[in-house]
């Protein structure tokens, strides 16, 4: 499964990649042996300290490690992209279903399930019911970041998702009386159409999308959270678990 539309996701991330990409130059063993002992011993000691103590300065204090943190994201800028083989699974959604099943890295599932809970809870507050379906534009897609071709997209690890909106069914029963009449029938909420809407039902949809996005951000549910404020993201939220923190959703 791949994104159906070109996406510029994670470009922002790549721009900041120099914060964490530390290149340690390779030094052949023969070079080390040729060093005078007075240099070799301190050099080896220093190298040992660096190797055991170095961790990428990628995340804020308090961030937990994620199983894919050590996978290299730097790739050749041309030619066929080879994506590391991570364990993937088909996932349909648990709390709220996805309209099309997603194909994701197994470790990403728990994040999506929590996202579904936030979707359900926020939707119940705003509309009196959860949506029937979550609409996405893609998860797994083995590709480089288009404008930063030396970087693998998190989509290449099935470690990202693009969310375009939510489909709601009619509200029935006791809950209906608490829902404004114009929001009782079935409707669709789309980032593209409603993020900036300010009148009619669209204003409610905007409120829902913004409330949901703020909750995802407040929980730091994903490490990269992009939305309409980010170039190329006027029609979707991009969430991923790359080894850096970037949030750019609200203008
Ligand atoms: Zn994306």
pLDDT at residue 141, as a whole number: 97
Cα-Cα-Cα-Cα dihedral sign, residues 65, 66, 72, 75: negative
pLDDT at residue 116, as a whole number: 98
| CB neighbours of residue 245 within 10 Å | 17
18: pLDDT strictly greater than 70: no
Q: What is the pLDDT of residues 22-31, one digit of tens each?
A: 333 334 455 5
Question: In this predicted model, which residue has the larger pLDDT, 52 or 181?
Answer: 181
Ligand 1 centroid – CA 26 distance (Å): 34
pLDDT at residue 33, as a whole number: 66
Ligand 1 centroid – CA 145 distance (Å): 10
Domain boundaries, the chain: 22-54, 61-248
Ligand 1 centroid – CA 155 distance (Å): 7
Contact in structure between 194 and 211 (CB atoms under 8 Å)? no
Contact in structure between 77 and 152 (CB atoms under 8 Å)? no
Ligand 1 centroid – CA 60 distance (Å): 22
Ligand 1 centroid – CA 53 distance (Å): 33
Ligand 1 centroid – CA 123 distance (Å): 23
pTM of the predicted model as reported, rounded to 2 decimal places: 0.76
Per residue in 181-219, is it b (16+ CB within 10 Å) or e — as a string? eebbeebebbbeebbebeeebbebbbebbbbbbebbeee
pLDDT at residue 29, as a whole number: 52
Ligand 1 centroid – CA 122 distance (Å): 23
User: Distance (Å, rounded) from C-alpha 196 to C-alpha 234?
Assistant: 10
Ligand 1 centroid – CA 43 distance (Å): 43
Ligand 1 centroid – CA 46 distance (Å): 40
Ligand 1 centroid – CA 197 distance (Å): 23
Ligand 1 centroid – CA 160 distance (Å): 6
Torsion of CA 134, 138, 139, 143, to 10 degrees: -170
Neighbours of ion ligand 1 (CB under 5 A): 7, 9, 162, 238
DSSP letter for 74, please: B
User: Distance (Å, rounded) from C-alpha 36 to C-alpha 49?
Assistant: 20
User: Distance (Å, rounded) from C-alpha 175 to C-alpha 52?
Assistant: 58
Across-strand partners of 161?
Answer: 239
User: Distance (Å, rounded) from C-alpha 133 to C-alpha 239?
Assistant: 18
Across-strand partners of 90?
Answer: 103
Ligand 1 centroid – CA 192 distance (Å): 15
Cα distances (angstroms) measured from residue 232 to each of 6, 21, 22, 33, 159? 9, 25, 28, 52, 19
Q: What is the pLDDT of residues 134-181, one digit of tens each?
A: 999 999 999 998 778 999 999 999 999 999 999 999 998 888 888 999
Instruction: Give Dmax (Cα) for the chain.
Output: 85
- Indicate the SS3 state at residue 105: strand
Contact in structure between 118 and 219 (CB atoms under 8 Å)? yes
Ligand 1 centroid – CA 39 distance (Å): 48
Q: What is the pLDDT of residues 189-241, one digit of tens each?
A: 999 999 999 998 999 999 999 999 999 999 999 999 999 999 999 999 999 99
- Indicate the SS3 state at residue 98: strand
């Amino acid at each position: 499964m791949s994104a159906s539309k070109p996406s510029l996701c994670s470009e922002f991330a790549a721009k900041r990649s120099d914060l964490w990409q530390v290149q340690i130059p390779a030094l052949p063993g023969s070079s080390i042996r040729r060093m005078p002992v007075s240099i070799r011993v301190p050099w080896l000691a220093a190298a040992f300290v660096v190797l055991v103590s170095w961790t990428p300065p990628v995340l804020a204090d308090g961030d937990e490690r994620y199983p894919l943190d050590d996978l290299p994201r730097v790739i050749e800028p041309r030619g066929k992209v080879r994506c590391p083989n991570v364990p993937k699974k088909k996932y349909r959604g648990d709390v709220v279903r996805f309209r099309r099943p997603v194909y994701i890295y197994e470790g990403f599932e728990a994040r999506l399930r929590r996202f579904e809970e936030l979707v359900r809870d926020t939707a119940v507050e705003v509309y009196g019911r959860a949506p029937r379906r979550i609409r996405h534009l893609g998860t797994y897609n083995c590709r480089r970041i288009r404008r930063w071709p030396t970087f693998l997209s998190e989509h290449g690890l099935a470690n990202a998702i693009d969310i375009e909106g939510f489909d709601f069914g009619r509200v029935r029963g006791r809950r209906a009386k608490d829902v404004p009449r114009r929001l009782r029938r079935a409707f669709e909420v789309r980032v593209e159409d409603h993020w900036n809407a300010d009148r009619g039902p669209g204003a409610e949809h905007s409120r829902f999308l913004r409330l949901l996005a703020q909750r995802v951000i407040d929980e730091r549910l994903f490490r990269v959270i992009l939305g309409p404020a980010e170039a190329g993201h006027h029609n979707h939220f991009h969430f991923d678990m790359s080894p850096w923190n970037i949030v750019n959703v609200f203008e």
